[in-house]
Structure 1
């Protein structure tokens, strides 16, 4: 029951899907192990939608899958990417960058990053054809599986906020999340190369965030998820 509650809270955190009732109070930090499981579920739903739209032109089928994925997650990861692009690109100081990232308005850097990411993902999903379902399940899991590890290795940019509240994942949870994510992608043909690039990209996002704002935040985790998934899809499509 405890693990089921953690899984449900992870689903409530990362998606807009109904997850049922939770029997006890669950700290967000305790849900990290389940993030790749929820990521696989998001990938499953998006991949099935790509299959339903398979008679459309490739880019259109990919766009349908992306749109369904955005509906399922509430675009929370993409919002993080846009906020990071605006903050890192528009702020001159750490405090100013963090202030911009809190602003709900979308700036030119954020809009450009968001458009490029969505177009790239739609094109890569469209190019996957019948493999889209497997690719999206695998990359959905892997791109979320390393986020608890990122939180553990990097300082928090803010003392409050979603990222800080989710930073308490224990060592067991971090290991479980990373293993689930890595195995999910490694078993796909070409998955080892995709896994390697995903790790490099997410590591680069973490290091950039540390230089720009002193550490990671919820927005940085969102950016890492989006960019890591696109990188993995690009290798699989190559």
Structure 2
């Protein structure tokens, strides 16, 4: 139990800028196991976005409230996944070979491809969420953030890490069956909570959109890289999250 709690805290520490207690000891085994809690951390981030949206919407119109809620998510995560999305597009767009792409993705500077992808992603989120009914949006945030991080975990389980070293290396050494099960159960719980509180049809459309985003993003980078990096996991999360929102909107 102590190891599981430590892994959960490591997941929070890795995916967000939230403070965590310092009593636990880091180990690669615990870091690897932390992937089991990525969806749960995603739900926490999404719940924060929902709370910010609800609070701000008491004073401001939907567009302003959505932008502030998205900004709150960026603040609490340090734009961690958005940075991965931008680096992925810079690398795949600017690198003619796998090695060249990986080298570009290591560069901390933001290029044209990454800038365009980041602007497009934030614009799509803003436009889509603003178009959703407020009551659905409150549940869309935690569902999308949680399920899109499950999408990243699925990538961990079904692809290979292509760098010799990197921030994702400890997690990439192998996702155990119990960890995958915990992440999957969290995803199932998100879906069941949605079905209990809202109609099933928009969830189905959202899941279809999420799956399309997952597959499309993986096809985009795996064709060249033949695997994944920490940056591309962020790109998968972003594409899956946006796909979920677009699926909800398509249902309306």
TM class by shorter chain equals over 0.9
The residue number in structure 2 matching 1:37 is 40
C-alpha distance in structure 2 between counterparts of 1:145 and 1:206, whole Å:
14
User: How far is 1:93 from its partner?
Assistant: 1.2
After TM superposition, the runs of 4+ consecutive aligned structure 1 residues lying more than 6 A away are none
Aligned position for 1:3:
4
Q: Is the 8 A contact 1:81 1:113 kept in 2?
A: yes
Q: Number of aligned pairs?
A: 238
Q: Distance in 1 between matches of 2:45 and 2:139?
A: 12
Residue of 179, 184, 206 corresponding to 2:185: 179
5+ residue gaps, structure 1, are: none
Contact 2:210 2:247 survives alignment (8 Å): no
Unaligned ranges ≥5, structure 2: none
Cα distance in 2 between the residues matched to 1:22 and 1:141: 26
Deviations 1:75-132 (A, max 9, x none): 0100000001111111111111111111111111110110111111122222331322
CA-atom RMSD, angstroms?
1.6
For residue 164 of structure 2, the aligned residue among 159, 166, 181 is 159
Match of residue 26 from structure 2: 25
State the shift of 1:186 in Å.
Answer: 5.5
Question: Using the alignment, how far apart are the partners of 2:23 and 2:10 within structure 1?
Answer: 7
Q: Report the more deviating stretch, 126-135 or 180-189.
A: 180-189
Bigger drift between 179-188 and 45-54 goes to: 179-188
- Report the counterpart of residue 146 of structure 2 in structure 1: 141
Alpha-carbon contact 1:143-1:229 (below 8 Å) kept:
yes
TM-score with structure 1 setting the length: 0.94
Residues 210/22 of structure 1: CA separation in 2 closer, same or farther (3 Å cut): farther
